Chains A and B, each alone.
Chain A
Amino acid sequence: MSVTTLAVLGVLLFGSAAVIGYLITIYNGLIALKENIKKAWANIDVILKQRHDELPKLVSVCESYAEFEKGILERAMKARERYFSADTVAKKAEASAEVSGAIKSIFALAENYPQLKANENFMQLQTRISHLEESLADRREFYNDSVNNYNIRIQQLPDAIVANFMSLKLETMFSVAEEDRRDVDIKIRLPRFE
């Protein structure tokens, strides 16, 4: 076997090994990205479940104040039920945003009830829920970063070729609901505190 033949064979061998190796790296990378999104969502879900476990307690404390706006409490509980019955990430995100909005309204309204605000249980719940909301905001940001990385990868060459072969589709971000962006409306039918 001549030196030239050996060199050509070597180039072909390493060339094909490099292409296969690169494709495998891309494939594994895309799988890891997809799994990262699932993991990021699971980490949000943990916080959402914890928050939804606290919600009935919060509603129960507020209900003990007869004058408290019942509509907001009902809205919060309905959003919570919708979250548990939601079967997709998008629906869960929507229901979660509604719960967040309702909780913000409850805390804003509570400003008008000094006795409620001074209630030990209410204060504990407010601290706990605020902490969960903070965790939720950070994990939502992390989830969106994971989705963004994934969406960029599957649209950029050369990953797009492998992604197309794997039939990967764009993922949607966990966006904040329009209602959540607005300031909380606390002018709604405020009962007078005696």
Chain B
Amino acid sequence: MTSNREGDLAVWALMGAGMGVYWFFKGFRELKVKRTIQDIPTSRIATGAVGSLVEIKGAVVCEPDRLVPAPVSGFPCVFYSLEIQKLVRTKNSSYWKTIDWVYSDKGFHVDDGSGADALVYAEGAEIKRQGDPAEYRVNSSGLSSMPKGLLLALTLNARKLKSFKLSGSSWWRPEEYRFLERCFYRGETLYILGNADSGTKVEKRRKLSFKNFLAARKIVETDPALRKRFDANRDGVLDPEELERAAKTIGEQLQPGEIRDPAGQAPGGNAAMTLRDRRNAVPDSALARGGIGSNGTLGGEPLPRTKMIFRKQDARTFIVSNMKEEQAVASLGWSSSLKIFGGPALAIAGMAYIAWFFRGVF
């Protein structure tokens, strides 16, 4: 006769054994990725060849008004990924299970100083960031009280969501959700390894609809910073031609949740770091150039041509990271060793307990 406690432990042991086997194989996958990172030399964007497994390093460049607000932290970023997790409760414990992903849909440019840049669509990439992701927890009954940015991102991507429903779950059984946000910022130096296509296939900007044009014109008219930026003759007034040009430029880049940052203050209130702090933390070289201007220049310099396009293709390796190559290799080295040795130890211990538990049966 076994006690309830022993029965519970047997379930845990079975789960541990399964997890151990999974870690064992995952460890080898990480070892393979680690060796790939070590073995691929870095290409210069301007002169490097495109193809499978191309490695580049460079700074993120982006004009300020093309930034998107991060849904949780509110920081203006060039890309964000939002991992949606649900709290799964078992008899004696609980764990977070990833149920959906949301990505900002725009690509961003990476410049390595070689005279050309790479366009990166990081959706589906393995994102490696130093530090913990920004986090927001909510109960399904309080979904409507989420931060505006988060609500907007979820609403806009509602069709892509497979499991998460903004309407929430049934009232008698509330669920708990967690949103983990990972972003890349303007001026950050990134490491990218993945499949590179030729830059000649760069997608043309989407056509501006009349509705967006009108909305953009309204934004320009009411925003002093934008009026000043597009006042080409510096007479203090936006002429009709200047206004049209401004509306076209802004309209093409129109994103829901416009970023207003005249004071350099982060729009989100729940993160300790101000936008000014973050700007100070990144190298000024890319920022000093003023980003890509609407007149096809980069802070007055000619806009570098896009030579490579990175995007997720099939199951091929695609890594975007703000870590240095050596840091990524070291992190994967530790992680893979832990999984290759720890996984079997866990599996053996679990199986041994199960064998002991059923000692009278077999």
Contact = CB atoms under 8 A, between A and B. Distances in A.
Contact of A3 (B41, B44, B356): B356
Of the listed residues A10, A28, A150, the one surrounded by the most CB atoms of chain B closer than 10 A to its CB is A10
A10 B348 contact: yes
Interface in A11-56: 11, 14-15, 17-18, 21-22, 25, 28-29, 32-33, 36, 39, 43, 46
Name B's interface SS: helix
B38 A149 contact: yes
B32 A28 contact: yes
A22 B31 CA distance: 9
Contacts of A81: none
A27 to B, nearest CB: 11
B327 interface: no
Nearest to A146: B41
A3 B32 contact: no
Contacts of A36: 39-40
Contacts, number: 72
A33 B359 contact: no
A67 interface: no
A142 B352 contact: no
A149 B41 CA distance: 8
A7 interface: yes
B351 A6 contact: yes
B270 to A, nearest CB: 43
Given A10-B348, A14-B347, A29 B47 contact: no
A46 to B, nearest CB: 8
B355 interface: yes
B348 A11 contact: yes
A138 interface: yes
Contacts of B42: 145
Interface string B111-140: 000000000000000000000000000000
B355 A18 contact: no
A138 B44 contact: yes
Contact of B359 (A3, A14, A135): A3
Interface in B16-52: 24, 28, 31-32, 35-36, 38-44, 46-49, 51
Contacts of B43: 138, 142
Contact of B340 (A18, A29, A46, A145): A18
Interface in A107-136: 134-135
B347 A10 contact: yes
Given A10-B348, A39-B51, A142 B41 contact: yes
Interface string B333-353: 000000010001001100110
B171 interface: no
Contacts of A22: 28, 31
Contact size class for A? 20 to 34
B51 A32 contact: no
A135 B38 contact: no
Contacts of B359: 3
A82 interface: no
B95 interface: no
A188 interface: no
A39 B42 CA distance: 14
Given A17-B24, A25-B31, A134 B41 contact: no
Given A145-B41, A146-B41, A135 B47 contact: yes
A182 B38 CA distance: 34
A107 to B, nearest CB: 20
Contacts of A25: 28, 31-32, 35
B48 A142 contact: yes
Given A25-B28, A139-B49, A142-B43, A10 B352 contact: yes
A1 B340 contact: no
Given A25-B32, A29-B35, A135-B47, A6 B340 contact: no
25 contacts: A1-B355, A2-B355, A3-B352, A3-B359, A6-B351, A7-B348, A7-B352, A10-B347, A15-B344, A17-B344, A18-B344, A28-B32, A29-B36, A29-B39, A32-B39, A43-B49, A134-B47, A135-B47, A138-B43, A138-B46, A138-B48, A139-B49, A145-B41, A149-B41, A153-B39
| Leading 3 A-B pairs by shortest Cβ distance | A145-B41, A14-B344, A10-B348
